[in-house]
Amino acid sequence: MITRQFGIPVTSPGAILRRERDLGTPLGQETAEVLQRGDLVSDKIIIELIEDWLRLHGGHGFVFDGFPRTLPQAESLTSILARLRTALDLAIWLEVSEQTVRDRISGRLQCGACGFTTSVKCAKFAERPVCPYCDGPLVRRTDDDMTVLQKRLSEFETKTQPLASFYGKMSILHRIDGNRDRETVFSDISRLIEGKAPA
Ligand SMILES: [Zn+2]
C-alpha cells in the first residue's frame, strides 16, 4: 500500500469510490453495484472523480494508484493535466503473472471501513483480523470469486494492456517485476517516486 510518506497526496479511484459509498451518495451506491458484478466503473465517472480530486488537491505532486486503467482515461488525464499546466513524470507498470494474481487474491483481507488490504498469510492479522489503521473488521473481499477474477483479467488484456505502449511512447513508462515480495516491490516504487518528488 502506497502511503503519504512521499509528502505528496496519493489516491486511487477505489478509495474515492469507497468514500462515496460510505457517504451513501447515489454515485457511491450505483458504482458499488457495478463493482460487485466485477465490471469496471465507466470511464466517464472515473474521469470526473479524478478531475474533482485534482481540483481539490492541486495538480502539482500526486500519485494515482490504479489509474488510469483504460486508453480513454489516459487520454483524458493528459488533457486535464495540460489544462493544469502540468504533466506526468512517471507511469509505473507492475508486471505480475496470472498465477501471482490468483494466489494473492485468494488470500486477501480488506478492511471494511478504510480499504486497507493485507494477506491471510500475514500472521498478526490472521490471528486477530482487525485493521491497524482504523480498527475496522478485516474481511475477505466480496469480489474475490474466480468468475470476477476471470472477467477482470480479460478486461485487463483488452482495456489496460494498451496503456503500456501509450506511456512507452511518452518515454515515462517504468516496468517493475511485481511478482517479488511486497517490501522489495515497494522499495523499487519508492526509489522511482522519490527520484521525481520535490524535496
Ligand atoms: Zn481500516
> What's the CA-to-centroid distance between 137 and ligand 1, angstroms?
7
161 phi-psi bin (left φ>0, alpha ψ -120 to 50, beta other): alpha
- Sequence-distant (6+) residues with CB within 8 A of 10 are 2, 3, 4, 62, 63, 64, 65
For ligand 1, a single-atom ion, the residues with CB < 5 A are 111, 113-114, 116, 131, 133-134, 136
- From ligand 1's centre to the CA of 141, what distance in Å? 13
CA pair distance 139, 78, nearest whole angstrom: 36
pLDDT at residue 3 in the model: 46
What's the 153 CA to ligand 1 centre distance in angstroms?
A: 27
pLDDT digits (tens, 9 = 90+) for 70-101: 999 999 999 999 998 889 999 999 999 988 98
Angle at 105 between CA 125 and CA 21, to 5 degrees: 80
Query: Which pLDDT belongs to residue 149?
Result: 81
pLDDT for res 142: 60
Give residue 169 CA to ligand 1 midpoint distance, Å.
Answer: 38
- Specify the pTM: 0.77
Residues of the chain predicted below pLDDT 50: 1-4
Question: How far does residue 171's CA lie from ligand 1's centre (Å)?
Answer: 37
| pLDDT of 189 | 93
> How far, in Å, from the CA of 119 to the mean position of ligand 1?
14
Quote the CA–CA distance of 106 and 140 in Å, as a whole number.
Answer: 9
19 CA from centroid of ligand 1 (Å): 12
Strands 138-140 and 108-111: antiparallel
Distance 113 CA to ligand 1 centre (A): 5
User: How far, in Å, is the centroid of ligand 1 from the Cα of 4?
Assistant: 15
Cα(34) to centroid of ligand 1, in Å? 23
pLDDT in tens, 139-150: 876 655 677 788
